[in-house]
Amino acid sequence: MTGRRAFLAGALSLPIAAQARGAEQWDAVVDPATGTLGAALAEAEKAGRPWRILLKPGLFTEKLTVRVPGLTLQGSPGTVIEYGTASGTPKPGGGTWGTGGSATLTIAAPGVALRELIVINSFDYIGARRDGSGNGAQAVALAIGREADRTTVDRCTLLGYQDTFYVQARSLVTGTRITGGVDFIFGGGAAWFERCEIVTRYVPDTDSFGYVAAPSTPAAQEFGLVFSDCSLLRENGVPEHSTWLGRPWRAGGNMALTGEAVFLRCFMDGHIRREGWTWMGYKGPDGEPRRLTPPEARLWEFGTRGPGAAPAGTDRRLLTVAEAKRFTRAKVIGF
């Protein structure tokens, strides 16, 4: 074995020969002490077929994009993928990253499965707030791009502060812990979140602890971000009635975006504000600042419980039993 193949064999801990862990077979097994996930993904792209990659425990400090359709990325207990880039920070070769480009891990191919991974954007959000630097400090941990249809995220942990999880394509998210503060689950994709823990982070020296969801769903798209049997929790120090369920995002002032987010049978701790939802600003076609308000968007609840599950109000609307039946996994994402 010579050249590039020999290098990858050492770097990835036997990446070419399929390996077994229990009954499962792997095209690559990557140990962060000896190899990189980036090299394994490059080899998968060369193969031109779906690959199965097992990551051993440890820290992968890499900023990566998955471009292989049907790829499976399986973590082990303690597998961490971490990077620290935010919107407005410099890019290699010049310019700066935007919000989407800030992601630690980006999915840019259909049918990708992520399992048992910890994905972190380690940008110093607290320090940026303290120093007054950064453009709001948007720093994405996981981005699912428009081309990444039928992505699955299972038993993962996604950790950031602002804009943790960007969802732009049909996605299934199960048993996953998503942690952040400002608009930390956002985007225009249709996504079904099931049995997830959604955790608001503590930020010192602030009275408001942000917004859980910021949907930018197209008006012509029937479904947006749907949370089924999830738990909305908080870190120590996050006070009562300090966190909005979310606000509708009219990205770029696009009038065709109305935003849909629905919470079904979710537990809500006492940090959730009684008003539930609030408005989000944008510039209209005339360039003037405007607000997209909750009544103009599609923001709903059904069967929520816990101290944060307040009664219905003008901006906090409840689905009827008949209306709630329309929201099923099969209808929302089709897989």
Length of the chain as a residue count: 335
Pick left, alpha or beta for residue 321 (phi over 0 → left; psi -120 to 50 → alpha; otherwise beta): alpha
User: Are 84 and 125 a contacting pair, CB within 8 Å?
Assistant: no
Catalytic residue among 27, 149, 163, 269: 163
With H, G, I as helix, E, B as strand and everything else as coil, classify residue 16. coil
Report whether 150 contacts 127 (CB < 8 A). no
User: How far is it, in rounded angstroms, from Cα 331 to Cα 327?
Assistant: 7
Task: Count CB atoms within 10 A of the CB of residue 37.
Answer: 21
Catalytic residue among 183, 205, 286, 315: 183
Report how far apart, in Å, the C-alpha atoms of 316 and of each of 150, 231, 262, 300, 313 are.
Answer: 30, 18, 11, 7, 5
Give the pair of three-digit tokens for residue 145: 């791009």
Can 183 be counted among the known catalytic residues?
Answer: yes
Radius of gyration of the chain (CA): 20
Catalytic residues: 163, 183
